[in-house]
Amino acid sequence: MKVKEVAKLSGVSVRTLHHYDDIGLLVPEGLTNAGYRLYSDDNLATLQQILFFRELGFPLKKIKELLDRPSFDRLEAFELQREMLKAKRDQLDEMIATIDKTLRAENGEIEMTNEEKFQGFDFKTNPYEQEARDRWGDAAVDRANERIQGMESDLQDGMNQIYTKLAELRHVDPASEEAQEAIGEWYAFLNRMGHYSPEAFAGLGEMYVADERFANNIDKFGTGLAAFMRDAMKIYAERNR
């Protein structure tokens, strides 16, 4: 299939396909001797994957990383996508509810706080929690969330990042050293937290905001969980000495 046909089928523009080729995200399997791109059925399946991830707000760079992983598993990807699509749908439901609520508030029927006016907009409800819950059990996640309660939202964001990393690990061979190490450290982290006072943990949150070395390690889609954990614990230990 040539570009236009693919474009029509998938709803993206020809330019988009060119772009995806340029950045190596979707390289057509063939070329005519005139240099025309030829897409295979496999290419179409990949495009489908790409579009799912795109709809979920993943940056193209990240999508490429995901697809390029040798351990990339289509079935697992679909499952993750379904969960995230559902989360997004729930978010839309929340926004619809917010509209209805706003209308009633405007009608004088109910009171509404400013915070409520933005229900559904903040993405604090994190799509990875279910993921983590399934993988590492309710107890661990609950304990983590318990600690999150009462912390300022900046740390919340940090936790979202952690969940992100955990979800990412699904696409790594679970038997691999990297995965085992990360999971081990995650548990160690949680357990160690149990020994510290809430104030100490709150300090970690401040650090997340203040210390650039720390923050840099959490930056979106950056280094792996293991490295982040190592740094976090190192800094944490230093600070508390």
Partner DNA sequence: AATAAAGTATGACGTTACGTAAGAGTCAAT
Partner DNA sequence: ATTGACTCTTACGTAACGTCATACTTTATT
C-beta of 5 vs 22, nearer to its own copies? 5
> In DSSP terms, which residues pair with 31 in a beta bridge?
37
Residue 89 corresponds to which tokens in the numbers above? 């749908």
The amino acid present at 199, given as its one-letter code, is E
Residue 23 makes contact with its own copies by CB under 8 A: no
Characterize 153-186 residue by residue with b for buried, 16 or more Cβ atoms within 10 angstroms of its Cβ, and e for exposed: eebbbbbbbbbbbbbbbbbbeeeeeebeebbebb
Please, what is the Cα angle at 222 between 218 and 224, to 5 degrees? Answer: 85
**Interactions with its own copies, residue window 179-238 (CB under 8 A):** none
Residue 40 makes contact with its own copies by CB under 8 A: no
Which 8-state DSSP code applies to residue 33? T
Min CB(145)–its own copies separation in Å: 20
Per the rule left: phi > 0, alpha: psi between -120 and 50, beta: everything else, 137 is: left
List, as own/partner pairs, every contact residues 100-107 make where C-beta atoms lie below 8 angstroms and the sequence separation is at least 24, other chains included.
none
Exactly one of 38, 51, 190, 233 binds its own copies (CB under 8 A); which one? 51
C-beta of 23 vs 97, nearer to DNA? 23
Exactly one of 102, 130, 180, 223 binds its own copies (CB under 8 A); which one? 102
Q: Where along the sequence are the contacts to DNA (CB under 7 A)?
A: 2-5, 12-16, 18-19, 21, 32-37, 54, 59-61, 206, 210
**Interactions with its own copies, residue window 133-162 (CB under 8 A):** 153
Pairing relationship of beta strands 30-31 and 37-38 according to DSSP bridges: antiparallel
Q: How far is Cα 49 from Cα 155, in angstroms, rounded to an integer?
A: 32
C-beta of 177 vs 212, nearer to its own copies? 212
**Interactions with its own copies, residue window 65-94 (CB under 8 A):** 74-75, 78, 81-82, 85-86, 88-89, 92-93
Exactly one of 14, 38, 44, 183 binds its own copies (CB under 8 A); which one? 44
Q: How far is Cα 200 from Cα 191, in angstroms, rounded to an integer?
A: 14
How many other C-beta atoms are found inside a 10 Å radius of the C-beta of residue 232? 21
**Residue 138 site contact among DNA, its own copies, none (CB < 5 to 8 Å, cut-off depends on kind):** none
Min CB(112)–DNA separation in Å: 23
- Contact set with its own copies (CB under 8 A): 8-11, 41, 44-45, 48, 51-52, 55, 74-75, 78, 81-82, 85-86, 88-89, 92-93, 95-96, 99-100, 102-103, 106, 114-115, 117-118, 121-124, 153
